[in-house]
A and B are shown apart, each in its own frame.
Chain A
């Protein structure tokens, strides 16, 4: 199978290791991947802030860049839901609409791609330690992806999986919310970090780098020993 990588701007700029790890896992599973180097941002920050004109421009651009792709995989529930769920709410050009209609169903979030498309739950990864999982809101409530990441985590060799309290409660990132209401956002993140620490886990895994940016920022400020990790990074351990 051959896919195109969709590497969201946040991953590209701040967490390239996540995309690198994703490539390693895909390679191990025999998936060929290509990267369209003109890709930038899907437009979500503009859309979530109410700026539909700017969001539409970036959506058109995204669809044009990904025009050559047949199947697309991204390590982010948030950016995937932007394209799949929210692009249809924008006033797109006929060409953009056509690409979206074709590409939308073939755009996958990483864990969903592994479990439902490749039908793989054990990638052969190894990790010694206790791991807990945070349900990212877009992944859970827009894309309804709940079990796939858990199946993948549970099948990592040597790993002990533990659920945290309120695992489906928002970490407080929320895009521009995090900077518009930093106090509320930080308060939410602090409660999330406390729930993570209560599990006694060595690592907390999530599927969205945006949530991880928030969680890592709080854990680091708390001088916590818990390591934040993207699912792709966990699955690349030992392979």
Chain B
């Protein structure tokens, strides 16, 4: 491209400097030059578990958003819980992400044992990257873990590094988020306080998911499932602390 990029840049910056207030110096020191490797490993923010009241607030908030909450007694029961969800809704095609919690639950293997399901994808499926999204778009169920669950707003924080990436929580009809109870935080502030955000530690993409995809663009009538999942289910697993 032969655009005078530098020219418009310096012209613009010059103009901004001229029009800016001859103000106080910046209150914020420039960020430290992080030497850490870019890209944070998918991490689970675990800390002291929240109380019953917080969990019931989370449940209420999910309900208000049209999302669902299912309790799972232990990680060993996760496959069964998903099977049940699949049977109820006649879901057949399923994709399982590569999050630690799902691996720990041995979910890919666990689900393969059930005749009802066709496991379209898991990190064990040797599929070329460019075909993954086609396959995922045909899936009815996409299962992922998450970094944290925020009770106040019923928000799930996902960083999308790793298998399935951004698509697995986006393209299938129904998105199932699996989280330990210990991953629940009271508020977004609460969670943000527990993290440090720098350029080097932030992954290429983080998403706060609050309810299923929705719109009110036609006469303000709420419709869920525009581009993203029509349905959002949180499976809260006892323990993790």
A and B in direct contact, judged by CB atoms within 8 A:
no
Q: Which B residues form the contact surface with A (CB < 8 A)?
A: none
Q: Which A residues form the contact surface with B (CB < 8 A)?
A: none
